[in-house]
Structure 1
Amino acid sequence: MNILLGIHFILLIIISLRVLARHDFTSSARLAWLVILFILPYVGVVVYWMFGEIHLGRDFERKNREIINKLHAHNPEVLSSQSVLKAAIKPEYQAAFAYAANVTGFHTTLGNRAELMADAAETRARLIADFDAATDHIHVLYYIWLNDGMGKATAQALIRAAKRGVTCRAMVDGLGSRKMVNSKLWQEMKNAGVQVSVALPISNLIKVLLFSRIDLRNHRKITVIDGKIGYSGSRNCADPEFSPKPKYAPWVDIMLRVQGPVVAQNQMLFASDWLTEHPNTPLESFYYDTTPQPDGFAAQVFADGPIQKRGTSPQFLGALISQAQRTLIISTPYFVPDYSLVSILCATAYRGVEVTLIFPKNNDSFVVAATSRSYYWELLEAGVKIYEYKPGLLHAKTLTIDGEISLIGSTNLDLRSFDLNYENNVIMSDKALTANIMARQYQYITDSVEVKREQVEQWSLPYRIWNNIVSTMGPVL
């Protein structure tokens, strides 16, 4: 027993020194980890070993960067050029576009068009129709792919396409789609000639736990058809009823059907993930169509992942939010931000911008719900309007600014999206499209209940304490 106690004490000191020495931790994250280490004997050391370090292994990160560099060098036209930004984007909105280009390599493109899908049914119908019309290739990457109506329809469309000679590549996250990977449907796709792959596989669980983190995931949602048509937004390959958590259904998502050069950027993003698992795939097998659409708008891909520098997403969002002059509307299912983002939201409201946040009323994570509500008082005091959506789980990740700029994609306003997940988004400058997305946001607001400051002030003391305790652990969630 004394030997075990001694080993634990030595490990505790070593890990504590590691926490204190890390340059990529915020003060709050250091404090949260030190609290966990010292109030949870033995368990705290194990928890830090499993979840404290953000890495996928040096060899993985090196190979991934090499792949991205090769893709950029092989097809530089996909990246576009720095000169487009000043010509295409108003000066007051250029900062976020410039930041995104700097960290991803994807610059602003011209000549993009997008249709906002009316609902889940239209998304499914249009997607399957595009699959059935494909002549060259279909590439899909989903965090969650369920064996339900949407999942089966998508798989069957891929099988039909593969049988008529279309190159089909389907990739899923190893954790989010673990049941699909082991399903009969997955095997049927494989047998039909669909090239299937798993991003960040967890088949060797011991290796993952010892040398990586099981919760570093590929959260992207990418669909590219013939290099010309893409779908971007928040929806996984699943029905709104979302069978793993029917209690919170329907899952309410937002999707765009996109055409233009920004599709090529998502294609390159898919290629980087595919080549990470299949490095022998020829670069030439990925086709990029950068032909501009008539009367198209400016847009670019913003992607993030755990191999990039820490703070990329909150810094990008901070730059974007700080550009708002009149209105800022955000919807997100998971609001566990770093404090700098809360401060920027408050500062934006204090300088006279009408800031509106829309969250689900009933969140599928009680931890996220408590953490989100711990910030309500401060946000409301600054003049931010907060709405909680009632009909289901609002899963749409949307951001609009001044009726001019819009952002949609896979990134939540939480630390998982900021630090742990591979994400993909599209930032667009177009009044007509932004107006359509804002109309959808106002529809969310209509179906929501507004949270007033007086209501928050009446929360019971135990409830406030619970929310604040949970939010204290926010940096390690």
Structure 2
Amino acid sequence: MVATVLLALHLLILTGFTLRILLRDNLSPQARLAWFIVLSALPYVGTAIYFLFGEIDPGKRADMRHKEVFGQIRTKASHLMGAPGDTERLIDPLYRPAFRYAGSINGFHPVAGNSAALMADAADTNAHLIADIDAAQSHVHVLYYIWLDDGTGTDVARALIRAAQRGVTCRAMADGLGSRALIKSSLWQQMKDAGVQMAVALPLDHPIRTLMTSRIDLRNHRKITVIDGQVTYCGSRNSADPEFRVKARYAPWVDIMLRLKGPIVAQNELLFLSDWMQATGEAFDDFVVAEHDTQGGFPAQVIGDGPTERRGATPQLFSGLIACAQETLTLSTPYFVPDATVLDALCSAAHRGVEVTLIFPKVNDSWIVAAASRSYYRRLLSAGCRIHEFKGGLLHAKTLTIDSKVTLIGSSNLDLRSFDLNYENNILLQDAGVTGAVQERQSAYVARSDLITLDLVAAWPPHRRIWNNVIATIGPVL
């Protein structure tokens, strides 16, 4: 009798979750298949995993607030966001489709008149950033996914404290999971006591409520810094030392950062404010965002993506950019678990003669990502892509350069977390000078890398290939 009841319960659970998966129109066939495998192999554990992580839904309240916030921004600051016609005026016809697509995500279009400097390394970034905050006269806005109380994190906090004490409006925001230790620390309290306005993105104060209405692993992965509306930073760097003591065995973290001026600063500030407003409930009327002279300089646009934007926006953006490449395409990312759209685009570019160079870390802090990434090597190499594994630490830089003219830089990885779960920020720009500087940095990464060949991959033992492919098979649910 007990066995019959357990069998009936087992079949009921499998049937219920199977129907739920089949009713979801926004799931790819690969993701459905992966969930069926998990549920069949681990029916009880699998259902618990599905309940916790199976559906990407930030909740109706978050969706409504997101629409309300961007409605305010578009109503009152559309003149800072650029216009669709600017793409036709500013962007080379070869790359217009990708820039148009980027503008469709959340309404930021190319704006001219920008300049940028590529920071030399972590110390150079920190020196410029602290100097900019110390020189601030009006306001400072910072948002980090990971903010540690190490040397870099403390330097930033102390600079904000100094700025607040001399009357500068400082707003500091950190992700509730990635910066959970700092949020509970005395340094966080010291910033509050000094007058720095503090907010937590996606807080973990009520984890049970979060699990019932959303997913606990939906995170704000953005890294945004804006000073006086005149300077902004964009790239892969969190507020943490390269030694990254929470995962010191993989150090140093190798990041890349641009320091930008021009109208792009206002766009990045608007993206920051969209997060701040959603976290604090404040209205857009409480803020002033500066306008900029647009003479000279290069065109650029901000791209903000996340689970409250439309599904598939990030992989479609990458695929569109890859499709625009005519001669060269170089990509660096620490986490490479592409969907079929991006994988096909990379192979297609190589097949049509584009020199495709991919740079990944040799040792990854995620064994799951490492295995899944390498499952794609044979297909990429067979198509003609070049793969390099960086061996000078964990290559954390997220860069894409095309034809020595176009650069995408920011926080987005090429994995399913960045595609579906994380709030990300990137800047897409067209400029030979900046792109050349980023390409030089990419070449430096290649110089410190091992070249991976098709013969090398073919020589991998069968058990390694099986393991990589097993992990890749269930990759859509990881």
- Give the TM-score category using the shorter length: over 0.9
The Cα offsets for residues 57-102 of structure 1, whole Å up to 9 and x where unpaired, read as 1122111111111111111111111221111111001011100111
What is residue 155 of structure 1 aligned with on the other side? 157
Aligned-partner Cα distance in 1 for 2:279–2:89: 38
Mapping of residues 73-92 of structure 1, within 5 Å: 73-92=75-94
User: Which of 95, 98, 105 is equivalent to 2:97?
Assistant: 95
Amino acid at match of 1:242: F
Mapping of residues 197-236 of structure 1, within 5 Å: 197-236=199-238
Aligned-partner Cα distance in 1 for 2:78–2:431: 25
User: Which of 251, 254, 257 is equivalent to 1:252?
Assistant: 254
Amino acid at match of 1:221: K
Superposition deviation, residue 287 in structure 1: 2.5
What is residue 317 of structure 1 aligned with on the other side? 318
Aligned-partner Cα distance in 2 for 1:5–1:141: 50
Aligned-partner Cα distance in 1 for 2:395–2:336: 12
Q: State the SS of the aligned residue for 1:98.
A: helix
Q: State the SS of the aligned residue for 2:95.
A: helix
User: Which of 265, 271, 275 is equivalent to 1:263?
Assistant: 265
Mapping of residues 127-166 of structure 1, within 5 Å: 127-166=129-168
Q: State the SS of the aligned residue for 2:172.
A: strand
What is residue 356 of structure 1 aligned with on the other side? 357
Question: Which shifted more, 23-32 or 208-217?
Answer: 208-217
Mapping of residues 299-318 of structure 1, within 5 Å: 299-318=300-319
What is residue 421 of structure 2 aligned with on the other side? 420
CA contact (8 A) 2:143 2:172 kept: yes
Superposition deviation, residue 256 in structure 1: 0.5
What is residue 475 of structure 1 aligned with on the other side? 476
Aligned-partner Cα distance in 2 for 1:41–1:316: 36
What is residue 187 of structure 1 aligned with on the other side? 189
Aligned-partner Cα distance in 1 for 2:127–2:110: 30
The Cα offsets for residues 214-250 of structure 1, whole Å up to 9 and x where unpaired, read as 1110000000111111000000000000000111100
Question: Which shifted more, 410-419 or 294-303?
Answer: 294-303
Aligned-partner Cα distance in 2 for 1:32–1:189: 45
Aligned-partner Cα distance in 2 for 1:10–1:311: 32
Amino acid at match of 1:304: D
CA contact (8 A) 1:267 1:286 kept: no
Aligned-partner Cα distance in 2 for 1:4–1:133: 68
Amino acid at match of 1:231: Y
Amino acid at match of 1:131: I
Aligned-partner Cα distance in 1 for 2:83–2:341: 31
Superposition deviation, residue 6 in structure 1: 4.0
Amino acid at match of 1:45: T
Superposition deviation, residue 5 in structure 1: 5.3
What is residue 27 of structure 1 aligned with on the other side? 29
CA contact (8 A) 2:112 2:296 kept: no
CA contact (8 A) 2:176 2:204 kept: yes
What is residue 338 of structure 2 aligned with on the other side? 337
Matched residue count: 476
Aligned-partner Cα distance in 2 for 1:190–1:87: 45
Q: State the SS of the aligned residue for 1:427.
A: strand
The Cα offsets for residues 370-419 of structure 1, whole Å up to 9 and x where unpaired, read as 00000000000011000000010000000000000001000000010000
Aligned-partner Cα distance in 1 for 2:328–2:93: 17
The Cα offsets for residues 252-307 of structure 1, whole Å up to 9 and x where unpaired, read as 0000101111111111111111111111x242332222313543100001111001
What is residue 329 of structure 2 aligned with on the other side? 328
What is residue 430 of structure 2 aligned with on the other side? 429
Aligned-partner Cα distance in 1 for 2:179–2:94: 41
Question: Which shifted more, 380-389 or 2-11?
Answer: 2-11
TM-score, normalised relative to structure 1: 0.98
Aligned-partner Cα distance in 2 for 1:418–1:41: 27
What is residue 288 of structure 2 aligned with on the other side? 287
Aligned-partner Cα distance in 2 for 1:75–1:294: 20
CA contact (8 A) 1:112 1:292 kept: no
What is residue 396 of structure 2 aligned with on the other side? 395
TM-score, normalised relative to structure 2: 0.98
Amino acid at match of 1:431: A
What is residue 447 of structure 1 aligned with on the other side? 448
CA contact (8 A) 2:112 2:295 kept: no
Amino acid at match of 2:344: S
The answer for unaligned runs of 5 or more in structure 1 is: none
Distance 1:242-1:6 versus aligned 2 partners, 3 A rule:
same
Amino acid at match of 1:325: Q
Amino acid at match of 1:337: P
CA contact (8 A) 2:222 2:411 kept: yes
Aligned-partner Cα distance in 2 for 1:286–1:260: 19
What is residue 172 of structure 1 aligned with on the other side? 174
> Once the two structures are aligned, what percentage of the paired residues are identical?
54
Superposition deviation, residue 9 in structure 1: 3.3
Amino acid at match of 2:155: A
Aligned-partner Cα distance in 1 for 2:287–2:232: 14
CA contact (8 A) 1:405 1:434 kept: yes
The Cα offsets for residues 347-378 of structure 1, whole Å up to 9 and x where unpaired, read as 00000000000000000011100000000000
CA contact (8 A) 1:328 1:399 kept: yes
What is residue 47 of structure 1 aligned with on the other side? 49
Aligned-partner Cα distance in 1 for 2:96–2:115: 20
Aligned-partner Cα distance in 2 for 1:448–1:366: 19
Q: Which runs of 4+ in 1 moved over 3 A?
A: 1-9
Aligned-partner Cα distance in 2 for 1:122–1:294: 28
Aligned-partner Cα distance in 2 for 1:351–1:213: 41
Aligned-partner Cα distance in 2 for 1:295–1:116: 19
